[in-house]
Amino acid sequence: MLPTSMTESAPSNLTNPAPQGNGQNVSDSPVAETCIEIANFDAWYGAFQAIHNLSLEIPRNQVTAFIGPSGCGKSTLLRWINRMNDIVPTAHSKGIMRLDDLDILAKSTDVVHMRRLVGMVFQKPNPFPKSIFDNVAFGPRLHMKLRRSELEELVEWSLRKAAVWDEVKDRLHAPALGLSGGQQQRLCIARAIAVGPEVLLMDEPCSALDPASTLAIEDLIYELREQYTIVMVTHNMQQASRCSDQTAFFFEGQLVESGPTDDVFTKPKEKRTDDYVRGRFG
């Protein structure tokens, strides 16, 4: 078993398995540092413009929720942050999108390296058809040179951070597809953080889960923000208000309003935002 201290922070002898914060809840600070900067960003699928002149700063070590009706550009933006639209032949974009000093959209950017920094968790849990252990170890085996003992330590650390270790520790070499939906989603989160990302993108991570599993994932998101910048797409207004520090409201490919979640939900500046959060459309 890992020493107690290693259940809170990454094993110290591993190569950058997770970013280290100062333990402070950054959302309580007056000014949060920007992690991702997006400016004058436009995106198209062929002739259809999915995102129009969007500018947004995503703060470090906070949870930012993207809300809005279906087809408004939330998931499209998430996929550009991770460069997943590279595989869509008709997709193209222009504008600025930076993670710290990394130009996400530049053709010269090493996409494999960038995706190590920007992890992705999808709407439907997608564990590999491998064992629980091999799912979490997949990324570290690809990106790091670790001894077997270090790899085992990192797998345990990741599963603990994803709040699923106690449920799987006695069956690490059993098929991951045998886990429940909620366990699979937490396993996918463990797999994402095992390579030491700075950012976790979550595209409706709870929409396919039962209420108990949803609550577990929400609690996990709240805890993980101490070490990661989290961007979450959700159609669940209650979930956005519970889990996020910042909220951005999208409508018809445009960013209508963004700001602290309490402000967006209780005193929005735009009528469309007020109508949406009150359930008048969407």
pLDDT digits (tens, 9 = 90+) for 145-196: 899 999 999 999 999 999 999 999 999 999 999 999 999 999 999 999 999 9
Q: Summarize the confidence of residues 243-270 as an average pLDDT.
A: 96
Q: Which residues contact 51 (CB under 8 A, 6 or more apart)?
A: 41, 42, 43, 73, 76, 77, 80, 93, 253, 254
Rounded to two decimals, what is the model's pTM? Answer: 0.85
Output the pLDDT for position 31: 66
**Residue 6: predicted pLDDT:** 38
**Average pLDDT for 56-60:** 96
Residue 75 has pLDDT above 60, yes or no: yes
What span, in angstroms and rounded, lies between the C-alpha atoms of 278 and 280?
Answer: 6
Q: What is the pLDDT at residue 14?
A: 55
**Cα(7)–Cα(43) distance, rounded to whole angstroms?**
41
The mean pLDDT value for 95-114 works out to: 94
Is the CB of residue 10 less than 8 Å from the CB of residue 20?
Answer: yes
List the end-to-end C-alpha distance of the chain, in Å, as a whole number. Answer: 48
The architecture CATH gives domain 32-269: 3-Layer(aba) Sandwich (3.40)
